[in-house]
Chains A and B, each alone.
Chain A
Amino acid sequence: MAKIAAMPSIDIVNSLRGVLDFYTWCNLVIVRRWPKAPGRSRNDLVMSTAEKFKYVNQAASTLTDDIIQPYKDIAIQTGLSWKDWMTRLYINRDPRVRLIEG
């Protein structure tokens, strides 16, 4: 990933070898390599989480509005999407979710 001075023309982009991703972010022009699979096996915890992540993303498209709406409600102005919250609440009960009695 690198910051470049200006967005190159499409001809220049097409002339480059390989796949590069040009985009703007916060008024900056960024170029990065296209993500690729690591090409090796991951450890069991990573693979287990990946399967759950895949499942919950697929399930998200089948849920009804009354199920999705609570996720949308808590996603407002948090910088996260409702699907982020859905994935988080499905996979992790981490310190970012605090259940307090009383």
Chain B
Amino acid sequence: MALPVAECYIPSHLYPESAFFHGKCRSMGGLPTQFCFIYWESWRPWKKYTPWQDVDHDGQDFDVNTSGLSWRGWTKVKACAKNASGVDETKPIMFWLPKPTAPKLGAPWLILRQGGSFRDMIYDWSSETDIGCLLHLLVGTRKPYVSPVTHVTRGVVFHHDAELWFRWLWKILSDQTVDTLLHDYHIPFFEYDRKYWFVALGTVDGQDSPSISPPYSFRMFHPPKMAIDDAYDITHNSAKLPGHLVDDYGMPAFVRFNYGKMPTYTDNTPTLGPFSSPAPYIQEITGLDPETWYRFRAEGSHDEGFPTHGISRPKDFLTLAPPTDTKECPLVNPGHWYNAGRYSWPASWIHSGEHGGMGTAPYSGYYTTGRHRIYRSAFLFDTSEIPPGATPVSAHLHVEDRYFPILGETYPWIDDYIDFVAVDVLADPPIAADYGHLRTQNTIIAQELITKSYGRAWRDHDLNAAGLANIVPGGTTYIGFKGHRDTINSQPPSSKHWGYVVYTTAPDPNTKLVVTYIPP
């Protein structure tokens, strides 16, 4: 039996520590029984064998994945076949394993979100990474240089690779000191109209990461320069604000005004623009309070959201007192008090020229019925000449009246008040009231303190804010009056009693409600 013949081919799939050996064995008259590879590890003198494999047929191929090699220096391999007649070995093939790539330290990371804002020459940049890491920001002022690696084929230039060169000036650490997903930086010395570039390096678990962020760039454009003139067309509740662009620094600008009661700015006008023209931009503001100092300034920005802005010097203006008109509204009660006899002073008490009155003291000594009576009356004034929507600012009742004691009461006079009230809190419809119907509400719109007897005379009773609100512009205004001790469901205290009388005969041009108001 002849010896088998082994063949060995160049190894493939070379890795730093492993390779695929390829071989074949042929019969040549004597079928081999087993096959293996013999190899050396670089300079080591001893050889190694792959496991012997049984041969099934002539021309059988063998592929063996070998591990445990060393990439240092050369390596040799040869094939070996044997049968009962002996062993055949090929000549060794020398080959080199590739140098292993240095293992990457740390884990890679990726920026998922980023954003920034500018404040006082500081750029605040924040980012969020996909895994926790500690980032360092490299900030430069030069644009990163990207150099394509080229070759030329038949006159055509091909770029098949590129290099990125990033030159940095400052390294800025994240606000955080441990690995985290969110990273905040404060980059100082940011100047207007200068473009800055930055990339982020990082560590993960204290080891350098292979990742680098792309070069982000940011430029802080100089905000528009604004100026304002004096406010004009100032009324009690509005004014026109003029402003203009002094310099837009080459970019369209959005403008608006900030204003508010001195010394604060509480409101903004709607945004105008974008503009590039230095022509004045005028905006009218309304809803101001009369006779109040306001302050305003112009604000300009290249961005509609006004993240950075140029602001003018402020100016102040004083709103005017509101223009007012005054109407004398006549009494329109038809000759007597409203539903006289039930709702007002009893007719039996009325004497010549006295059409109504009221009292709050118990009348038990006066009336044999022993009832404590209360009396309420009402005026009706024609306020139809006041335009609807007008705002009353002051009003007073102009009536001829007197206060007097009843049944010979003597001084010192008891302290009591005449209350003028809104009619809707009087009983409606009018009823014959006694203290069982005393009022549960007591919104006083004007009041007179009674401390002594007053003789018959023309007097003015000023209305308070509630009284002004009770006036009905364009309609009829009701004003009731009652004793101050006319309160809820109790006998009016005090054993004293007194009277109050208004002298009037409706229609009466002299008894009137004088209203000063701001026209709508």
Contact = CB atoms under 8 A, between A and B. Distances in A.
A96 interface: yes
A90 B112 CA distance: 12
A86 B471 CA distance: 75
Nearest to A45: B101
A71 B15 contact: no
Interface in B88-105: 100-101, 103-104
Given A52-B108, A99-B166, A67 B114 contact: yes
A67 B111 contact: yes
B515 to A, nearest CB: 63
Given A99-B138, A100-B166, A89 B18 contact: no
Interface stretch (A15-23, A29-37, A73-81): A73-81
A89 B212 contact: yes
B44 interface: no
Contacts of B148: 77-79
B154 A86 contact: no
A77 to B, nearest CB: 6
Given A26-B153, A63-B112, A90-B110, A85 B214 contact: yes
A11 interface: no
B423 interface: no
Nearest to A101: B168
B290 interface: no
B233 interface: no
A63 B324 CA distance: 64
A73 B111 CA distance: 16
A102 to B, nearest CB: 7
B112 A80 contact: no
B214 A89 contact: yes
B165 interface: yes
B213 interface: yes
Nearest to B148: A78
B108 A90 contact: yes
Contact of A97 (B149, B163, B169): B163
> In which size bucket is the chain B interface?
35 or more
B130 A59 contact: yes
Nearest to B197: A70
Contacts of A64: 113
Contacts of B146: 74, 76-78
A98 B150 CA distance: 18
A17 to B, nearest CB: 22
B215 A74 contact: yes
A62 B199 CA distance: 21
Contacts of B507: none
Interface in B444-471: none
Contact of B210 (A73, A92, A99): A92
Interface string B206-247: 000011111111000000000000000000000000000000
A99 B111 contact: no
Contacts of B112: 59, 62-63, 67
Nearest to A62: B112
Contact of B214 (A86, A93, A99): A86
Contact of A73 (B103, B110, B215): B215
B167 interface: yes
A73 B144 CA distance: 10
A100 to B, nearest CB: 5
B154 A26 contact: yes
Nearest to B201: A99
A58 to B, nearest CB: 11
A60 to B, nearest CB: 9
Contact of A100 (B150, B162, B168): B168
Given A26-B154, A99-B168, A80 B114 contact: no
Contact of A78 (B159, B201, B212): B159
A61 interface: no
A19 B148 CA distance: 35
30 contacts: A26-B154, A26-B156, A40-B65, A45-B101, A45-B103, A52-B108, A67-B114, A73-B217, A74-B214, A74-B215, A78-B159, A78-B162, A79-B150, A80-B161, A90-B108, A90-B210, A90-B211, A91-B108, A91-B210, A91-B211, A96-B161, A97-B163, A97-B164, A97-B166, A98-B163, A99-B199, A99-B201, A100-B168, A102-B167, A102-B169
Given A78-B146, A102-B167, 13 more contacts: A45-B103, A59-B110, A70-B214, A71-B214, A77-B148, A79-B148, A80-B159, A80-B161, A96-B162, A96-B164, A98-B164, A98-B166, A99-B168
Closest 6 pairs between A and B when the two form their complex, measured CB to CB: A79-B159, A70-B214, A78-B162, A100-B167, A78-B148, A89-B212
